[in-house]
Amino acid sequence: MALADEPTLDPVGAAAWDDFRSLAHRMVDDMLDHLSTLDEQPAWRPLPDTVRRALGSEPLPIGGVGAEAAYDDFKTHVLRYTTGNVHPRFWGWVQGNGTVLGMMAAMLAAGMNSIVAGFDQSSALVEHRVLAWLAELMGFPPDASGLFVSGTSTGSTLALAVARHGALAKAGFDPREHGLQAGSTGQRPPHLVCYGSAETHGWARKAVELLGLGNTAFVRVPVDSRDRMNLVALDRRVREDKAKGVVPFAIIATVGTVNTGAIDDVPAIANVAGENDLWLHVDGAFGALARLSDRLRPLVAGLERADSLAFDLHKWGYLPFECGCLLVRDAARHRETFANTGDYMAPATRGVIAGGLPFAERGLELTRDFKALKVWLSLKSDGVGSWARLIEQNVNQARYLADLVQAHPALELLREVTLNIVCFRYAPTHVDAQQLNPINVEIVLRLQERGIAVPSGTLVDGHYAIRCAIVNHRSRYADFEALVDAVVRIGDELRFGEGA
Ligand SMILES: Cc1ncc(COP(=O)(O)O)c(C=O)c1O
């Protein structure tokens, strides 16, 4: 036991451990109270000035106030003032809810505090196992490589790095040694380009910039009337680029675009990739999880042909942030892109480092937390079937919301619903078309500010849309009825004045 003059951050002595235990139990109880009463709470609380002031001007704490007082401050100023994404009527952007078991798994992982770079430890075995389960679910081969990452942006960026690495190596350059600079021969590497639809998520731009290829290396292929990549345009552009001496290296297909949930024709895109020897990356941030349902699987057919696939368990797997997953078909190429050595982490066949650092060799991070635990515990507890049923429920809810919209004379559905995203607007006849965008912007803001619900907004064909992305295991059908009533009420209020 530590002596009083030997500092530690653990409680010192049995009484101090007991005190901490009761605080810890209170923390769990408070969190469960909060989560079990969400439907009685507003969907969002605008940040009060008191909170802004308290959090915005806190001086650096040189002397601590103790865990109890710090926790009280958390309860007063932090706990309730988030985007509201845990709430049953939150459908903004694509933010998942989290689960109570996932929350406890995150606590257990933090308690274990295991660095999952690899090593000969249980957490590495769990990550290997869970990645194998996910590869099986996604139709990837058992020897595929994988990695838990913060999210699909990171996973997809790593995937493009693997694709770029292979393309440069194939062209006779050593990408690890010279990057995009001229090597010892003095020859410059090829001008690489990749393709994705104009609806591809913004990570792609950041990725090509970060990989040194530049924004113009990401060719935005036009979409059809259902927001899917136009394959004729893709094929034409690839041929034109090749004729110009530009070197295509990858195609990004999206299953479930962020704006409208559109699903690219992955089998056809895989054919184009195959014919041109291009890497196929699938962004399946939320849409890939539809594969878990027998009924929905045909909608996302073809993603199992991808060279790499990124998706988020923190979206349609409902788990707490962060929990993204990257799968790469060619394990050797994945490792070649990132593997590193150092005297301080030389491999060994015995001891803690036996087994090496396989996860550090698949991405940028050496220190990695134990994200796989929340997936492992949740899948063991609930089974794949329960996720599949919830995903189907969300798709049914999206169709229900679309039906409610279509049945209401004052509402207009702006896109056919493919999966779980519904884009609609308040658009009664006789309202000047110019006014519809500002009216719908205001409807979204009032829904949020009054704590009724949190949809977000987007533009569909230039029309401002109220957008609901449903990855919420807490939503009930009645929540969508309440949303539609509120949209019409607020829209009428804006046209005719309060009390309309
Ligand atoms: C289609 C798509 N791709 C990528 C992302 C980015 O995912 P993350 O925020 O996990 O990096 C999102 C986020 O909503 C998305 O919808």
Encode the chain in three state secondary structure: CCCCCCCCCCCCCHHHHHHHHHHHHHHHHHHHHHHHCHHHCCCCCCCCHHHHHHHHCCCCCCCCCCHHHHHHHHHHHCCCCCCCCCCCCECCCCCCCCCHHHHHHHHHHHHHCCCCCCCCCHHHHHHHHHHHHHHHHCCCCCCCEEEEECCHHHHHHHHHHHHHHHHHHHCCCCHHHHCCCCCCCCCCCCCEEEEEECCCCCHHHHHHHHCCCCHHHEEEECECCCCCECHHHHHHHHHHHHHHCCEEEEEEEEECCCCCCCECCHHHHHHHHHHHCCEEEEECCCHHHHHHCCCCHHHHCCHHHCCEEEEECCCCCCCCCCCEEEEECCHHHHHHHHCCCCHHHCCCCCCCCCCCCCCHHHCCCCCCCCCHHHHHHHHHHHHHHHHHHHHHHHHHHHHHHHHHHHHCCCEEECCCCCCCEEEEEECCCCCCHHHHHHHHHHHHHHHHHCCCCECEEEEECCEEEEEEECCCCCCCHHHHHHHHHHHHHHHHHHHHCCCC
Confirm or reject: Cβ of 118 under 6 Å from ligand 1: no
Average pLDDT across each block of 10 residues of the chain; the chain has 500 residues. List them in order. Answer: 78 97 98 98 97 95 97 98 98 97 98 97 98 98 98 98 97 92 87 98 98 97 97 98 97 98 98 98 98 98 98 98 98 96 85 94 97 98 98 98 98 97 97 96 98 98 98 98 98 84
Q: Is the CB of 175 under 6 A from ligand 1?
A: no
Closest atom of ligand 1 relative to the 200 alpha carbon? 1
Instruction: Answer whether 94 contacts ligand 1 (Cβ < 6 A).
Output: yes
Residue 201, ligand 1, Cβ within 6 A:
yes
- What's the length of the chain? 500
Ligand 1 midpoint to CA 359 (Å): 22
pLDDT at 347: 80
Ligand 1 close to Cβ of residue 319 (< 6 A): no
Q: Is 456 in the pocket of ligand 1 (CB under 6 A)?
A: no
pLDDT at 500: 56
Residue among 94, 148, 157, 266 to mutate when testing ligand 1 (max atoms within 8 A of CB):
94
Q: How far is the CA of 153 from the centre of ligand 1 (A)?
A: 6
Mutational pocket test of ligand 1: of 203, 257, 308, 326, the residue with most ligand atoms within 8 Å of the beta carbon = 203
pLDDT for res 401: 98
* pLDDT of res. 4: 61
pLDDT of residue 497: 84
Distance 22 CA to ligand 1 centre (A): 39
| Ligand 1: centre distance to CA 283 (Å) | 8
Q: Is residue 151 in contact with ligand 1, taking CB distance under 6 Å?
A: yes
Ligand 1 centre to CA of 201 (Å) is 7
> In the prediction, which pLDDT does 322 show?
98
| Cα 401 from Cα 422, distance rounded (Å) | 7
